[in-house]
Chain A
């Protein structure tokens, strides 16, 4: 049992590591692709040069981010087979076609138009180039649609039967694709991606405003990002609440772990902080608000809330991790909401370009979206354990027949390569973010912006390095 267990643990670590590294990039590129489309659209509509300048600034960053997303994503598309072959065999008939649609409707669309978007402005003209930008942005959203449908089905499987070979097979595709948790997860994740991007853009704008408050491009990105934060954070709070209620309906055990509820009771408290202890079956050092837990979950001060002890002990997830990652996500969400409200007040008081403390706070919040996205995914995915398909297929029964040393070796290589490659990429991105956006147009011929990337795409990218 020993070696088999450790092969399972290693495969789980490998998946957790590679998917966590991967999600960083789409969380940013989904929002950034839409932002670029908006910027280019505004440039075409108004002819104001500052939009093009900000577009160019973020396009270079998008190219690097997108490249890292592509290569780390290819790993994911093969890892189901290499390390989770039983899962793949059993769920392929249901989940495979959804992933097939992701490749056909999203990946090809992004990849096919990315070259034109990055290098083609001078070759195809601004209108066709704008179309390419729109196609790339649409591709990122189609991709989110399909992969979140797949993920949601693993949480709330629907529309399936099980055949004689033990495979899940489709009965009703509509029910499979629009499984019960999918709409909530899709909205929650797309808003999260938009907020992640907004806070990165806002932080970069803040950084440049703190150095030069008259920088027009920095003013534009800071202001646009904060409008986004102010408008979307309240929506995200509402979407998150609805997603939570949906989870309560379909995965009550996960909610019990998120809330730290071990006992089933009416009028349950809201446990703010504490340390859940699965062995003791209680939350140690709990700080709680009486009855508020029941009110939030059931909208009734005396509503009954199920605790973990209502479920078999063997099915419990890693409660402390679910409990704390959930609090990290919610905490960051409320900090984002605070920035959004603060920005509205700052606008009323004379404009965000003058609000130095708001700029400092936004700068600090730059990476907050990534932390919230990771924390949220840890909550929902660790909360799905010990199953891959919730309630139906255990993680321990999903794994490939690969010996532990082979998995250990691949995990070690992934860690080394990812830290080296994505570490370097992050460094380059930070350096590009630090370049003044007003320099983004500098090139051999700044008076002809359409041609500024030259005939040769690569050198145009390299030229920006000063």
Chain B
């Protein structure tokens, strides 16, 4: 049997999107939490935990978009017009926060402005991504090879809920990241922020999980029909276990476990999403095989990806390793 290239590529793109969500998730989360930190010094330290790695984190988003264009061009051509407003908002948000990393060190008077740009940009990007996700789950109207809906179809109560849920999720990733990478008062503050965020995220996961099957009878069949339920039931069970471990580790002031468990929650929700949607790439009408470019395109890019992606992961790990350890306020720089 020949290799099912669209399936292989769907797996790679899914991995890139997940990598983006968890990696940029914690640095967007730090941005969202920025105004809740005590003072300038805490904000400086918080920013320094992510400054060396944010750019690499965001590159996964470019791989998600560029990869979609390359291997599922029809999905790229339908999804981006369908999600026009949230996508433009996300791009503008990413600009505002991205430049803040450098700009806030270039000015004393204007520093607060770039701190706000960092927060607002992070918040806008997070909401926009969550809204886009909700709109995708609800389904995209397609005629022929083009998006056929209006330019506000993405705006629904469900998509607003997923938007808020993702903000909470990113904020929790950011808080638990700070717990891991800082100490002293900043770490205590991060613990204090993480507890309510954890409860809010668990509530949001619950509501979205119960709402999603009601949107579409296919989702209902996937999750609750016999014997499918046997295959999918580990996902909610593991989610409950991770949630319990998260809450306990925050209570016991573990340093790494809260971040790890928040990552686990993201991965499990993502798997759950995959169970609902697969094999649709533009639900409900377009499957990964409908959207795929010809095998010749897929094979050409796969050949290089097989070499380059492991290399990328290797030097990304090296970069994180080079900047490991607790980040503290620079002694003697004032």
Contacts and interface: CB of A to CB of B under 8 A. Distances in A.
B94 interface: yes
A94 B301 CA distance: 11
A120 interface: yes
B66 A63 contact: no
A456 B51 CA distance: 10
Contacts of B323: 115, 119-120, 123
Given A63-B102, A417-B92, A96 B87 contact: no
A116 B95 contact: no
A462 B65 contact: no
Interface stretch (A268-276, A310-318, A372-380, A395-403): A395-403
B81 interface: yes
Interface in B300-334: 300-301, 304-305, 308-309, 312, 315-316, 319, 322-323, 327-330, 332-333
A85 B142 CA distance: 13
Given A94-B297, A170-B294, A458-B47, A103 B98 contact: no
Q: Is the interface of B mostly helix, strand, loop or mixed?
A: helix
Nearest to B55: A111
B63 A85 contact: no
Interface in B97-128: 98-99, 101-103, 105-108, 110, 117
A183 interface: no
Given A67-B99, A89-B145, A444-B333, A78 B63 contact: no
Contacts of B108: 465
A295 B270 CA distance: 65
Contacts of B117: 421
Nearest to B81: A400
B51 A458 contact: yes
Nearest to B149: A401
Classify chain A's interface size.
35 or more
A444 B331 CA distance: 10
Interface stretch (B28-36, B68-76, B156-164, B216-224): B68-76
Interface of A: 63-64, 67-68, 70-75, 77-78, 80-82, 85-86, 88-97, 99-105, 107-116, 118-120, 123-124, 163, 165, 167, 169-171, 173, 400-403, 406, 410, 413-414, 417-418, 421, 424-425, 428, 431-432, 444, 454-463, 465
12 contacts: A64-B103, A72-B95, A81-B80, A85-B146, A91-B73, A96-B293, A105-B304, A111-B55, A112-B312, A169-B293, A413-B88, A459-B44
- A-B complex: 6 closest residue pairs judged by Cβ atoms: A92-B73, A96-B70, A115-B52, A81-B80, A456-B330, A89-B77
Interface of B: 44-45, 47-48, 51-53, 55-56, 58-59, 61-63, 65-74, 76-81, 84-85, 87-88, 91-92, 94-96, 98-99, 101-103, 105-108, 110, 117, 145-148, 150-151, 293-294, 296-297, 300-301, 304-305, 308-309, 312, 315-316, 319, 322-323, 327-330, 332-333
